[in-house]
Amino acid sequence: MNFHNTSTALPATGYAGDVSPELAWRWVQSGEAVLVDVRSDAEREWVGFVPGAVPLAWKQWPGMAMNPSFDAAIQAAVSAGQKAVLLCRSGVRSIAAAKRATELGLEAYNILEGFEGDADAEGHRGLRGGWRQRGLPWRQN
Give per-residue pLDDT as tens, 84-136: 999 999 888 999 999 999 999 999 999 999 999 888 888 777 777 899 989 99
> What is the mean predicted confidence (pLDDT) over 36-53?
94
Beta-carbon contacts of 31 under 8 Å, excluding residues fewer than 6 positions away, are: 82
Q: Which CATH superfamily is domain 15-77+88-141 in?
A: Rhodanese-like domain (3.40.250.10)
The residue among 97, 101, 100 whose CA lies nearest residue 83 is: 101
Q: What pLDDT score does 101 carry?
A: 98
Q: Is the pLDDT of residue 1 over 50?
A: no
Name the residue with higher pLDDT: 126 or 43: 43
CA 26 to chain centre: 14
> What is the mean predicted confidence (pLDDT) over 4-8?
66
Q: What residue segments make up the domains of the chain, in order of their start?
A: 15-77+88-141
Across the chain, what does the average pLDDT equal? Answer: 91
DSSP conformation class of 24: H
Q: Is the pLDDT of residue 2 over 50?
A: no
**What crossing angle do the helices spanning 70-77 and 93-103 adopt, rounded to 10°?**
80
Count of Cβ atoms closer than 10 Å to residue 1 Cβ: 9
CA angle 24, 67, 118 (to 5 degrees): 45
Question: Which pairing describes strands 33-37 and 107-111: parallel, antiparallel, or unpaired?
Answer: unpaired
* Rounded Cα distance, 95 and 90, in Å: 10
